Structure 1
Amino acid sequence: MNIVFIVDSYLPAPAAVGVCVMNVVEAMKSEHDITVLALASTPGMKDVHSIEGEGYRIVYVKTPESVLRARSIERLRSGTSECSKLLGSIGLLSARFWRQLRLVCSENACDPNLVEAYYKALSGLPEAPNVIVPACMPFESVVAASKYKDQIASTNVVPMLFDQFADSSTIYRLHLEKRVKYRANVDVEREALSRAKSIMQITWSDHIADEFPEFSSKLVRIEHPLLINRRAFVQKKHSRDITMVYAGALDRDIRNPAWVIEVLEKALNTEDLKSIVEFYVPSSQKYLCYFKGKNPRFQIKEAVPYSEISTVLGNASCLLSIGNQTIDQKVSKIYEYMGYGLPILHFAARLDDPAVQDIEKYPLGCLIFKTDSLDSNCDKIRIFLEANSDSEIEYETVCDLFPEESPKMIAQIIEGCA
């Protein structure tokens, strides 16, 4: 079967949705002809990149905005002069400005340049795919797949919806702007999803029931396909200290680390727990202010390449997870963490955090609620670390507890849609 996945960031630096798609591709590549359409993350990427010996290929697409952003990030990372880094900063600010200007001036949040880039790549494939699996975000992937379906009726479109679009809390800077353009964005969703054969989703069921009840029969409930045995990729190092690691994005509004750092700093202020706390965060310079004046054992570092992250996480004593301030999506990082079988401290900003039930089910999970007192949270962390910092769970045990998190589950759904 010829299958095309459409995603935002992919190798060599995949974000959360890219990792989900990559895991599903790995589960399917031996039996199917796989192509991945992805947004180029560095300016020097070739348009088509074959993964030799892996059985699939990646087709990279570009837009003017993505090229400016990629070049600016490259200057910031590898610039050898202050002038080069300044140009990188200016370029990045320009990319953000043009994005915000487009959002303000456009009827809806859909980027026509990105839709066209994906559609052009689909149209340029040597043969029509049997199934297209657009992963959201970005929702432009679903729109492009729908547009292609209009031309090639035999191709089935099976969206994999992770993040919200019309209901997103992060696309628009102002809540008023979201409200004003909400109906226009819902119309984009309706038009695109009407072409889908099935709709794989995690948090879209209520939204679809409210806005498109006629699509309810298409819904297939999934979880993040992140549970794979990650110990196989770990190069073990030995340390006597307790090393606590957070790896992922932060956001001042959605995932603010201030209260987490406050709790950890007090909890670890004891000679009994010799610990290091490391945060690996994209655009880490934006969050240095949260670590200023803190104990030097608290370190914030730039996110490491995907090829190195397994060694960083696999050598931790405990993995840190931070829940969102909103409940429109579940933090997927915990399922990636579970693949290491290590203790997980999840900081929930709200009692109805969607990840709470799964952390409670995980034998080495500990929940820290923002609504609880500082002292009780500190005591809870100390007791948990003293009891579990050297503990691990077998991968097979985790799989038995969370079979729905396996990429094979989604592979079976896609195969049934041919």
Structure 2
Amino acid sequence: MNILVIIGNYYPYPSSTANCITPLLLSLQEEGHIVSILTNTPQNTKIPYRMIVNGVEINGIPDRYAYYINKIENFIQSHPKYIKNRVFQNILKSPFYLRYQIPAIIERLPSGFIKDNLYKFMGMNKISAFHLMITISHPFVSQLIGLEIKKRMVDLKWIIYELDPYAFNFYLEDSKRKKYENQESRVMKYSNLIIGTPELIRLYKGNIFSKYRKKMHFLQYSVQDYRKLYQLNEKINHNVVGEFFIAYAGKFYKEIRDPMPALKIFEKLSLNFYCLLFTNYQDNEFLSFIDRNHTKFVIQEHSTHIDTISTMIKADVLFSVGNTVELQVPAKIFEYMGLGKPLIHFSKIKDDPAKKYLENYPFALIINEFEGSILEKVEKIENFFKTMKNKEMSYDEVVEFLPDFDERNVKENFLSIINKA
């Protein structure tokens, strides 16, 4: 069966979510299916837009609209406050709205990036004749691309995989919430099956989306055996200076996953440490903090997943920052647990969904940012560092504690759901 998968941030610098999804996609290939991936590609990358990786065809679409809007957002962040006025922001963005939005309205076509993906799919489908499409809400625009394809190819089977509470993020204004609910409902209506995290499926079965409950199936994230998956790069060396090596890999977001409380706690440690951050976060406060503390905190903006894993497996402790969204589990904790390394998780909210997954992992320390003094948190972390120095678990030891997340079991459940489409 020819299968098209639409997912964001998959290549060349995959997100933690993309990394957790990869074993599932490879399992389709192992079953004899032919898998093609459609993903966004950074506008200024030198990576080719079509490549074969692990036997899977990856097709990259440059998201020019997001690229230029992000550059404007970064410009706004780094200039005086009056530029942050919404009127000035809209003036700065207007050329790109005119370029991407207005023509789409006139032509009654999907706008910008969605239209580019639709045209790319049409070309790929002439060659591959897809039988099944899987769209993964990372981000939700993947579902909107899938919707446009499904409307034109009604016989194509469509599975949606929901990872983000798109219409139920707490920060949404009421007007946007209604719009997002309508979009998500249309996606569910046209789909053949719905896969989601346990948190989301429970939510959807009890709210306005309950009418689609017969289509719904929950699937856990998997904890992967990275030592088996990759031939790790032993030559990776970041000239670590310090008795303790701390590492983080992933994106930060000011409103959803702000790293500053965690970094300010690390700054107070009396231990001699070195902290490596694999991230491209451009917030001014963050960059100023790194600049002031450049002997202890170092940024690595772009790195392949193999090189990132090869580095992190040498760390003494990994750390993660929780989301402020109650129903969105940070996928990176599953990556971290797969490495069998000690893990510090900074929780931002009382109902942080990551906590229930970490409570059975014996090498985890959860720090609640919302309670207790900085000195108390510093003491807990220093004790954890000293206790966990040079400790790690094999993959088999990890899944003894986390059998539900064994990638072999998750793959089997995934394939069972796919066969129902």
- Shorter-chain TM-score: what band? 0.7 to 0.9
Distance 1:403 1:130 in 2: 33
- Asked if the contact 1:131/1:417 (under 8 Å) is kept, the reply is no
- Asked if the contact 1:321/1:346 (under 8 Å) is kept, the reply is yes
SS in 1 for 2:206: helix
* 1:285-321 superposed Cα distances (whole Å, 9 cap, x missing partner): 6421233544832334424333421122111010011
Q: Provide the TM-score with structure 2 as the length reference.
A: 0.80
SS in 1 for 2:267: helix
Partner of 1:347 in structure 2? 346
Aligned pair in 2 of structure 1 residues 413, 160: CA closer, same or farther (>3 Å)?
farther
Partner of 2:93 in structure 1? 97
Partner of 1:149 in structure 2? 150
Q: How far does residue 334 in structure 1 lie from its aligned partner after superposition? A: 0.7
- Asked if the contact 2:341/2:391 (under 8 Å) is kept, the reply is yes
SS in 2 for 1:363: coil
Identity %: 20
Q: Provide the TM-score with structure 1 as the length reference.
A: 0.81
* Matched residues, number: 385
Partner of 2:220 in structure 1? 223
Distance 1:309 1:188 in 2: 36
What does 1:9-408 align with in structure 2 at a 5 Å threshold? 9-30=9-30, 31-43=32-44, 44-51=46-53, 54-66=54-66, 68=68, 97=93, 112-124=111-123, 125=125, 126-168=127-169, 175=172, 178-202=173-197, 203-205=199-201, 206-207=203-204, 209-225=206-222, 227-230=224-227, 232-236=230-234, 241-266=243-268, 268-269=269-270, 273-284=271-282, 286=284, 287-294=286-293, 296-370=295-369, 371-405=371-405, 406=407, 408=411
Note the aligned Cα RMSD (angstroms): 3.4
* 1:124-151 superposed Cα distances (whole Å, 9 cap, x missing partner): 2223322211011332322332333344
Distance 2:101 2:400 in 1: 47
Distance 2:122 2:205 in 1: 29
* 1:366-391 superposed Cα distances (whole Å, 9 cap, x missing partner): 11111123232222112211111210
Structure 2: tracts of 5 or more residues without a match: 76-88
Structure 1: tracts of 5 or more residues without a match: 77-92
SS in 2 for 1:245: strand
Partner of 1:88 in structure 2? none
- Asked if the contact 2:12/2:47 (under 8 Å) is kept, the reply is no
- Asked if the contact 1:228/1:336 (under 8 Å) is kept, the reply is no
Query: Aligned letter for 1:113?
Result: G
Distance 1:46 1:296 in 2: 36
Distance 1:135 1:373 in 2: 40
Distance 2:25 2:180 in 1: 30
* 1:331-381 superposed Cα distances (whole Å, 9 cap, x missing partner): 111110111111001111122211112222101111111112323222211
* 1:217-243 superposed Cα distances (whole Å, 9 cap, x missing partner): 222112334523347543456977210
Aligned pair in 2 of structure 1 residues 274, 184: CA closer, same or farther (>3 Å)?
closer
- Asked if the contact 2:223/2:335 (under 8 Å) is kept, the reply is yes
SS in 2 for 1:254: coil
* 1:253-277 superposed Cα distances (whole Å, 9 cap, x missing partner): 22222221222222x21xxx43212
Partner of 1:79 in structure 2? none
Distance 1:96 1:306 in 2: 35
- Asked if the contact 1:284/1:302 (under 8 Å) is kept, the reply is no
Distance 2:95 2:329 in 1: 26
Between stretches 60-69 and 193-202, larger displacement belongs to: 60-69
Aligned pair in 2 of structure 1 residues 414, 116: CA closer, same or farther (>3 Å)?
farther
Aligned pair in 2 of structure 1 residues 138, 250: CA closer, same or farther (>3 Å)?
closer
Q: How far does residue 38 in structure 1 lie from its aligned partner after superposition? A: 1.0
- Asked if the contact 2:347/2:367 (under 8 Å) is kept, the reply is yes
Partner of 2:82 in structure 1? none
Query: Aligned letter for 1:22?
Result: T
SS in 2 for 1:166: helix
Distance 1:396 1:376 in 2: 34
Aligned pair in 2 of structure 1 residues 42, 404: CA closer, same or farther (>3 Å)?
farther
Q: How far does residue 211 in structure 1 lie from its aligned partner after superposition? A: 1.7
- Asked if the contact 1:45/1:60 (under 8 Å) is kept, the reply is no
